[in-house]
Each structure stands twice: as C-alpha cells, then as structure tokens.
Amino acid sequence: MPSDSQKPKIKIRSVWAHNLESEFKLISNCVRRYPFASMDTEFPGVVYRPRKHHSLLSPSDRYSLLKYNVDSLNLIQLGLTLSDSDGNLPNLGSNKSSYIWEFNFSDFNIYRDSCAPDSIQLLRANGIDFERNVAYGIDSRRFATLLMRSGLLFNSSAAAVAAPVSWITFHSAYDFGYLIKILTRRKLPHSLGDFMSAVRFYFGEKGFLDVKCVMRHCDGLFGGLERVAGTLRVERVAGKSHQAGSDSLLTWQSFLRMKEVFCLKDGGKEHAGVLFGLEVF
C-alpha cells in the first residue's frame, strides 16, 4: 500500500454550465470501473419546521415536512465521488491526481427564492458564491437529462450495459428528495410510499445505502458527518465542510473506515434501500 506521500492528490472538479457535458462524458467513462457513487447536496436550509420534536414524528410526518421544504426550495450544489471497492478514485489518466466532482446549479436565486438565512450565512462562510451560481451555474433540467444518460442511474439505457451503481450517502432523505424533484421535473409525490418507489425506480431496490442507518449497529458512532469522521479518524483531504464535493468524499471515506473498524457484514448491504428517518418496518 502506498504511503500518504505517494497517494494521488484528490482534486475537486468544479462543474458549471460551460463544462457540464464534457464532465458528464468523463463520468460516464468512469462508471464501469468505479461503480460506487457517494453523493451529497447543499440546499438553502429548511423553511418549514415541525411543531413537535423530531423524535415524536412518524416517518410519514417526516416525509411531509421534507416534501414541503423540497417543493419550496431549490438545489445549490451536488457533490459526486466515484470509487472502486478498494477506495480508488478516477485518475483520468493522471499519475499524480485523482478526482471528484462538484456541480453548481443556477436554480437558486438568493434575492428571489425562499431560504433559511442561517443556512445561507453558513454556506457563504464556507465559500459558496451565490451570485456566481446564478450567472454561470447549471440548469437542473439539463443536468437531469445528462444524469439519465450517464449510467449512474438504475433505470437508464446506459445502466443496462454496466454493473449497477451502489450509492453511498449520509442522512440523505433530503439529498434524494432534491434529485427526485430534478429528475421528474415536478413536486415530490404526496405519500412516503410513492416517494420511496421513485427513489427505488431511479437508484435500485437495494442500490443505495444511508450511512446513518448503518451507524445504529456501530457502537460509539453518533452525530453528524463531521463528528463521525472525527471518531473514525478520517481526515477531510479536499475542500471544505458544507461544500458538496468535499462532503461526498468524506462520506465515502468514512464508510470505508466503518467497514474496516466494525467488520460490517457484506459491506453493510443488509441496511441498503432505507433512508434514515423515513424507515417503515
């Protein structure tokens, strides 16, 4: 195994309207060799909050709250990390670097759209340039079209000629909510059951794993991504927190460490197909 000094430096490829198609071509060429996809999103917080504590909400109540928020808000960023089962990332022909992706969307306008001011302040403090996103960002409709053709999704023509992609996420009900909204180009389904059917249609019956669900079976792991990574001694090696590309990588590397430390049976696959907070048993 190479020493830390010999490992390729991980770089984030920023994707905007002008390079969206060329970056998706690179991604499509990587999917067969790197069939694990870790995903994270950044969005303008939540504007609808529950009247009672989250622990008292049913899965359907939590979904209704998610639907109100996702229907009312727009996506800002999406991070994507591709990897093989050993944790190797695409090097795109380079011997010195490997790469992850960060998509910047134009849909959210800070001067026009609903948002949670504290979330906007946090994202701006961590480097999100909202004005640049509006001017140079990606139209989510074009993103959805290229995502459908990329081979990343379960129900696409490109996926038929490649191994199914396994999606690794962290507390990702909202992440998938925004993706379903973008892919269907409409508001989210009215019921939790219909929403989960849509998620499974695009990502597979057992094609996604929410690390928060796995953590229940790992003694000493609790809290958010930053805390979990710290407990597992996983360092953030690219980008900043609350930036989607960096968080997608930290999610993937934390999951790899979890498998190693806790000897997860079958890589945690027994917990696949469920989103934290929306579990229906």
State the helix-helix crossing angle for 140-149 and 173-184, rounded to 10 degrees.
Answer: 90
Question: What residues does each domain of the chain span?
Answer: 9-265
- The position carrying tokens 């701006």 is 124
In angstroms, rounded to a whole number, what is the distance separating the alpha carbons of residues 153 and 28? 11
Q: What is the pLDDT along the chain (281 residues), one digit of tens a residue?
A: 455 556 789 999 999 999 999 999 999 999 999 999 999 999 999 999 998 888 889 999 999 999 999 999 999 999 999 999 999 999 998 889 999 999 999 999 999 999 999 999 999 999 999 999 999 999 999 999 999 999 999 866 555 555 689 999 999 999 999 999 999 999 999 999 999 999 999 999 999 999 999 998 888 888 999 999 999 999 998 988 889 999 999 999 999 999 888 867 667 778 899 999 998 64
The matching CATH number, chosen from 3.30.200.20, 3.30.710.10, 3.30.420.10, 3.90.1150.10, for 9-265 is 3.30.420.10
Beta bridge partners of 77: 42, 104
CA–CA distance from 40 to each of 5, 96, 141, 248, 262 (Å)? 28, 25, 19, 5, 23
